Structure 1
């Protein structure tokens, strides 16, 4: 029976997950410049402790790319900010990470990997923007966009 997981895996790829792995200090991370809410774009660095439990989120509001339809993810073009956030990680390794879902609110916007259920099917979705959704078997090898 499909049920919400305590942990799921994020696997780096060349599409929506270019930055996931382990930082020099052992913490797990996911970094994206595709996070969005109506009228806003964000660069978000999500951090978990070495054991995969939630640690913190670092968020920067950026200009949303022009011409992107509402509800569609797109890179914010914040290359300097991405480089800065990656530098904060020290020597890092891009690799699959097994972490727990979480949600935190920053300035009235929910950030995290949020579990939901629809007609008995559970998913873990990125927020804000809901442009990545993982499903059972939670191995991170495939996701819906």
Structure 2
């Protein structure tokens, strides 16, 4: 049987919630630090609380153009948008260990998007592990923005802005997101 990506994501989330529920009931502590890998580089980072790094798995949707450049850097080429309708081309670049380097953001143009992708040179589309960041341009906040909980029953989120079109939650090494 063929499942849609949303069905698969929903099933994965249900399984993950079930595992957390079972381990929480046993009184076993959840590990605060796990290992993440990106391009063969491994480093420990917290998987709970405020994220130092988040994983983004390559897919054929919002994360179609994430991966590594020939020099080992990481990239995320995307099209954020304002709810009112204005779209943008945003290329976010990170170093080998996921530290934010720079952003190239312009009003949306299909040809510009393709040029940005081509100008990256030889790339591999795969999982990236990068730090949250934010930059201001066109009167908007762009980036992978951390949303801190304001109440005890809320959780941490990292959202792709503007447009809140990708939302990441703990554990930060999962690599998947909500839309």
CA positional deviation for 1:140: 4.2
Deviation readout 1:81-130 (Å, 9 max, x if unpaired): 22201111110110101110000101321111011133430011001111
Deviations 1:1-21 (A, max 9, x none): 841110110111112110100
Deviating above 4 A after TM superposition, structure 1's stretches of 4 or more consecutive aligned residues are none
Kindly indicate whether structure 1 or structure 2 has the higher relative contact order, using CA contacts under 8 Å at least 6 residues apart: 1
What whole-Å deviation, never above 9, does each CA across 1:27-47 have from its counterpart, x for those lacking one? 2100112x1113411010011
Q: 1:57 to 1:111 in 2, by over 3 A?
A: same
Is the counterpart of residue 16 in structure 1 residue 65 in structure 2? no
| Structure 2 unaligned blocks of 5 or more | 1-29, 31-47
RMSD: 1.6
Q: Please tell me whether residue 103 in structure 1 is matched to residue 134 in structure 2.
A: yes
Larger fraction in helix: 2
Q: Rg larger in 1 or in 2?
A: 2
The 1-side partners of 2:148 and 2:60 are apart by 28
Q: Deviations over 1:46-70 (max 9, x none)?
A: 11112210100001112xxxxxxxx
> Structure 1: which 5+ residue stretches go unaligned?
63-77
Residues 25 and 89 in structure 1, CA contact (< 8 A), matched pair in contact too = no
Residue 48 (structure 2) pairs with residue 48 (structure 1) = no
Aligned residues: 129
CA distance in 2, matches of 1:98, 1:142: 12
Displacement after TM superposition at 1:141 (Å): 3.5
Write 1 or 2 for the structure with the bigger share of strand: 1
Q: Name the CA distance, whole Å, in 2 between partners of 1:82 and 1:44.
A: 8
- Aligned counterpart for 1:128 among listed residues 162, 165, 168: 162
